[in-house]
Chain A
Amino acid sequence: MDIRDAMIHFRLDGRSGVPPYRQLVDQVRQAVSLGLLQPGDQLPPVREVVRQITINPNTVHRAYRDLESQGIVEGRTGSGTFVLALPAPTTTPQRQSELHQDFMTWLKAARAAGMDDEAIVALVGFAMRSENVSNQSVTP
């Protein structure tokens, strides 16, 4: 397969703490959600990915298996791995816009209280971690 025919070109950040297979999974998911990859498109064969980015073939297999179990792609014996129909979005655009409005109101209040970007990000991080704590206490 010629590199120009490939729909997606992977990148790898060796200095990231994100495991390489998850970097590939995230890149495919992102390309699908941006419409760069469409149903029926073929993911580059494992051998080709190894050639492109000097990655362990086991890692590519693992990423493709992961994407398959998420229902994003389908492996067809002998012919490759293909993008499936896109999964239905979890929220409607209208609900998403309502949530955006709510958040903008909150953001305005935070600004009025004198919080800067860092303080807001820290607070959001803290809130999400606290949410994990309460989730964990429900299912130990």
Chain B
Amino acid sequence: MSSLIPAVETNGLGKKYRRIWALQDCSFSLPQGRVAALVGPNGAGKSTLLRLLAGVSVPTTGTLSVLGRSPRIQTVDALSRTAYLDQDRPLYKDFRVGEMLRFGRELNPRWDDARARRHLDELRISLSSRIEKLSGGQRAQVAVALCLAKRPELLLLDEPVAALDPLARDELMHILLESVTDDATTVLLSSHAVSDLATVCDYVIILSSSRVRFAGELDDVLASHRLLVGPANTVPTLDDAVVISSVITGRQTTMLVRSDRLIVDPAWKVIEPTLEEIVLAYLREDAFSRPVPDEFRSRRGRGSRNSVRIVQ
């Protein structure tokens, strides 16, 4: 398929459960071949978005296209191109690992049994183990290995590394990235462990209070956000910077801003924030709905994705 077609494209997507919106006005485009992190607090709408993309639930408003088509068109071909792993990691607990493999083989036209066996071997999981005897971490590993054996073009993973120890998490990410290297698989995964994602992902979608707060390339996210530290009761020269969050103590102001221009006010120290600091700033802004100083209010709005590097 043409790599010009986005792996995922949503426009004004919304999902309402009874009277509560679980996801609202969600618009973003994910290019093919990316590893995208979907981050946000519990209840932000991450699982809802993944379920919509997987076609297991129907949107209330808006449109979405997955690999160029509606995920509700569930032909054998369409189903084989996308793999979705629910956060409950559904596996038949009475099955042995080898039987789960056979199950996948019978149902999937593009099944790669050798790959699944190789991954399970690397993860030291025996084909004769019964699913219910495996630890939670091992079940997650088996589930991801099964998803990868489908050789999907798009892999949707809901909290794949939750409750995994650091080694298991690293091994899981490793088999995932290997398949990205070999097949240019697009991956969209939700996670709480933001600091782990910075080296694995190249695209970030920040969801909070059922809305998309930011969606863009990881490099652009990092390049377009800066932490400014300066004297309290003063305002840095910001041009069109957008203030995401600010903390004012007795003598010092710390603010996280998004800017496409150079920030070079000499009185202010400019620091490159980590992905975690950026994500937290967005989530905090929502949690406290901190009022924004008037001088920035008119400048709030959409930032361009093509950011200019900020010099320090």
A130 to B312, CA, bound (A): 10
Chain B residue nearest in CB terms to A47: B181
How many A-B pairs fall under 8 Å by CB? 82
Instruction: List residues of chain B with CB within 8 A of the CB of A12.
Output: 199
Instruction: List residues of chain A with CB within 8 A of the CB of B271.
Output: 17
Say yes or no: B35 contacts A58, CB within 8 Å. Answer: yes
Render A53-87 as a binary contact track against B, CB cut-off 8 A, 1 for contact.
Answer: 11111110010000000000000000000000000
Cβ of A94 within 8 Å of any chain B Cβ, yes or no, is no
Cβ of B170 within 8 Å of any chain A Cβ, yes or no, is yes
Q: Smallest CB–CB gap between A125 and chain B, Å? A: 7
8 A Cβ contacts from B177-234 to A:
177-178, 180-181, 195-196, 198-202, 218-219, 222-223
Chain B interface bracket (under 10, 10 to 19, 20 to 34, 35 or more): 35 or more
With A54-B199, A129-B312, A133-B265 as given contacts, are A15 and B177 in contact (CB-CB < 8 Å)?
no
B219: which of A21, A51, A129 is its contact (CB, 8 Å)? A21
8 A Cβ contacts from B229-280 to A:
262, 264-266, 268-274, 276-277
Instruction: List residues of chain A with CB within 8 A of the CB of B173.
Output: 54
8 A Cβ contacts from B96-118 to A:
none
Say yes or no: B177 contacts A20, CB within 8 Å. Answer: no
A12 to B180, CA, bound (A): 19
Say yes or no: A19 contacts B196, CB within 8 Å. Answer: no
A57 to B200, CA, bound (A): 9
Q: Smallest CB–CB gap between B176 and chain A, Å? A: 9
Instruction: List residues of chain A with CB within 8 A of the CB of B198.
Output: 14-15, 20
With A15-B195, A19-B222, A133-B266 as given contacts, are A56 and B180 in contact (CB-CB < 8 Å)?
yes
Q: Smallest CB–CB gap between B182 and chain A, Å? A: 8
Chain A residue nearest in CB terms to B227: A17
Cβ of A32 within 8 Å of any chain B Cβ, yes or no, is no
Say yes or no: B177 contacts A50, CB within 8 Å. Answer: yes
Say yes or no: A16 contacts B174, CB within 8 Å. Answer: no
Q: Smallest CB–CB gap between B84 and chain A, Å? A: 21
Say yes or no: B199 contacts A56, CB within 8 Å. Answer: yes
Chain A interface bracket (under 10, 10 to 19, 20 to 34, 35 or more): 20 to 34
With A17-B271, A17-B273, A54-B170 as given contacts, are A59 and B266 in contact (CB-CB < 8 Å)?
no
Cβ of B150 within 8 Å of any chain A Cβ, yes or no, is no
With A47-B181, A58-B33, A130-B266 as given contacts, are A17 and B277 in contact (CB-CB < 8 Å)?
yes
With A16-B274, A17-B222, A56-B35 as given contacts, are A132 and B262 in contact (CB-CB < 8 Å)?
yes
In terms of DSSP, what is the predominant structure of the interface of chain A? Answer: helix
Instruction: List residues of chain A with CB within 8 A of the CB of B201.
Output: 56
Cβ of A46 within 8 Å of any chain B Cβ, yes or no, is yes
Cβ of B34 within 8 Å of any chain A Cβ, yes or no, is yes
Say yes or no: B195 contacts A14, CB within 8 Å. Answer: yes
Render B5-34 as a binary contact track against A, CB cut-off 8 A, 1 for contact.
Answer: 000000000000000000000000000011
Say yes or no: B265 contacts A50, CB within 8 Å. Answer: no
Instruction: List residues of chain A with CB within 8 A of the CB of B273.
Output: 17
A18 to B218, CA, bound (A): 11
Instruction: List residues of chain A with CB within 8 A of the CB of B33.
Output: 58
A20 to B203, CA, bound (A): 12
With A51-B174, A54-B170 as given contacts, are A133 and B264 in contact (CB-CB < 8 Å)?
yes
Instruction: List residues of chain A with CB within 8 A of the CB of B266.
Output: 126, 129-130, 133
Say yes or no: A14 contacts B196, CB within 8 Å. Answer: yes
Chain A residue nearest in CB terms to B196: A14
Chain A residue nearest in CB terms to B171: A54
Render A103-140 as a binary contact track against B, CB cut-off 8 A, 1 for contact.
Answer: 00000000000000000000001101110110010000
Q: List 28 A-B contacts (CB under 8 A).
A: A12-B199, A14-B195, A14-B196, A14-B199, A15-B195, A17-B271, A17-B272, A17-B274, A17-B277, A18-B222, A19-B218, A20-B218, A21-B219, A46-B181, A47-B181, A54-B173, A54-B177, A54-B199, A57-B180, A59-B202, A62-B219, A129-B266, A129-B270, A130-B266, A132-B262, A133-B265, A133-B266, A136-B264
Residues of B within 8 A of A (CB): 33-35, 170, 173-174, 177-178, 180-181, 195-196, 198-202, 218-219, 222-223, 262, 264-266, 268-274, 276-277, 311-312
Q: Which 4 A-B pairs have the closest CB atoms?
A: A17-B272, A57-B181, A132-B264, A130-B266
